[in-house]
Chain A
Amino acid sequence: MITSKKGVRDPEGEAIHRQLVLKKGYDRVKGVRAGKYLLFLVDEEDPQRALSYVRELCEKLRIYNPVVHDIEVRIHS
């Protein structure tokens, strides 16, 4: 999951928050951040090893831009 860092403006998230969520009265929602979701299918028996494999490639291939993005890698089964 790739999201904008805190402090980096996210116009898509802001528009969803203001124009949709708040307008329809869901005012307990204090913020929306839009991001990108990538699902990697990995040929690996051990979930922890699959996790570190994908973490490594995200860093080395710069799947996210550390200047402006946060990344969260987790197991999905």
Chain B
Amino acid sequence: MWHRDFDPRGWDAVIIPGGFSYGDWLRAGAIAARTEAVERIADCIDRGIPVLGICNGFQILVEAGLLPGALLPNESGRFVCRWVKLVARDPRGPWLKLVEDGQVLTMPVAHAEGRYVAADPRGIEGAPRIHYLDGWNPNGSEMNIAGVGSRNGEVLGLMPHPERAVDRVLCPRGFEPSGRIIFESLASSLREGW
């Protein structure tokens, strides 16, 4: 849906997808974060509607102050596009309902500005988190952070792309289509709660 047409009424959940917004000028997500669509998404969050930000969507949520921290240019200074191994910590909420603590997930990343910096590491302690496994951090993120959620997990943002890891035919050898569990979690949550 085009952002100008976004009317939050009548939706069970909101996903801000990856890609680019406003050419990534200023900082990735910084201009999109000030649009009316994102103000409406902030209202959705207040009403307890699940919101997921993937890649540029995560950058937008962070720039809007809806998730903690900041995402800076990769340590390498380059765009990275590769499959990575991840581990979920303190999973909860509609997006991670079916994920177990310590579960390993594999998905691809594709970004230039994914180096997570926490304003205050205590701010994300206990919040649902997705970390790169040791040796798989592609961008120099602090604490190997690949994704972070709000305390109750209703808002989640992550740099890796779960939607590109939903079918085995999309996975290189050694990786699993584990992005699927995020969408299966949402389906289950919307049916039975979270």
Contacts and interface: CB of A to CB of B under 8 A. Distances in A.
Contacts of A15: 77
Interface residues of B, number: 19
Contacts, number: 34
B76 A11 contact: yes
Nearest to B118: A67
B169 interface: no
A68 interface: yes
> What is the predominant secondary structure among interface residues of chain B facing chain A?
loop
Interface string A64-77: 01011000000000
B35 to A, nearest CB: 12
Interface bin, chain A:
10 to 19
B73 A9 contact: no
Interface string B155-183: 00000000000000000000000000000
Contacts of B63: 62, 65
7 contacts: A11-B77, A11-B140, A12-B77, A65-B27, A67-B68, A67-B119, A68-B117
Given A11-B76, A11-B77, A62-B65, 9 more contacts: A11-B73, A12-B73, A62-B30, A62-B34, A65-B30, A65-B63, A67-B70, A67-B117, A67-B119
